Amino acid sequence: MVRANPKVFLGYSDVTVLHLMFGGTGELCTFYGPMPHTEFRKSTFPGYVRDHLLRALTSPEPGGEILPPPGDPPLRALRPGRAEGPLVGGCLSLISALMGTPWEMDTKGKVLIFEDVDEEPYKYDRWLCQLRSAGKLDACVAVVVGQCTNAEPRHPERSLTLEEVFQDLLGPLKVPVLLGVPFGHGARKATYPLGARALVDGDEGRFYLTESGVS
């Protein structure tokens, strides 16, 4: 039914489940971006969030380079290299929850993006170890990490930091890895067409949307 009647499908967080169900076959493009019901009414919606959303939903031209919101730090490269492929991913805890189901994420030849909120580093460690063991990290052509909000450990004296988890599990990959890309649970986020192509430049710390999600 969805395939026969394609519509704009937009959202993030728990909506990751539906992104993977609708777009996991590669036949539909969905949009990882702000929630219409809640964020369209926020005072932070005008500006960066609105401009990126409207471009993603209305322009047949590629979105081009994704720059951080004004005043935010630049994107950071954890691993060098350049790679291009279709975007796949979403909220990491939901990606993990769908492993072993018919809607398990396919990362072969794709750019994996993920983010999450209010989770300690040990959970990221668990989820990324699961993806690594399932071959999902080796299959992708690049990894892009978004806004991992409120990820401080409750007991820092006996916990890795989130940065250390990423160094341990993403650092050894043979693909480019970017950190701090504006998507996820943060107030200021761009909109990303899942299923459309993107270019990750780990040499320069840059990220480009090279294909539009609409025509």
Name the nearest CA neighbour of 200 among 75, 54, 57: 75
- Nearest-angstrom CA–CA distance, 98 and 70: 35
The residues annotated as belonging to the active site are: 13, 115, 185
Which residue bears the tokens 């009414």? 41
90: left (phi over 0), alpha (psi -120 to 50) or beta: left
Q: Which parts of 6-81 fold into alpha helices (H)?
A: 16-23, 36-39, 48-58
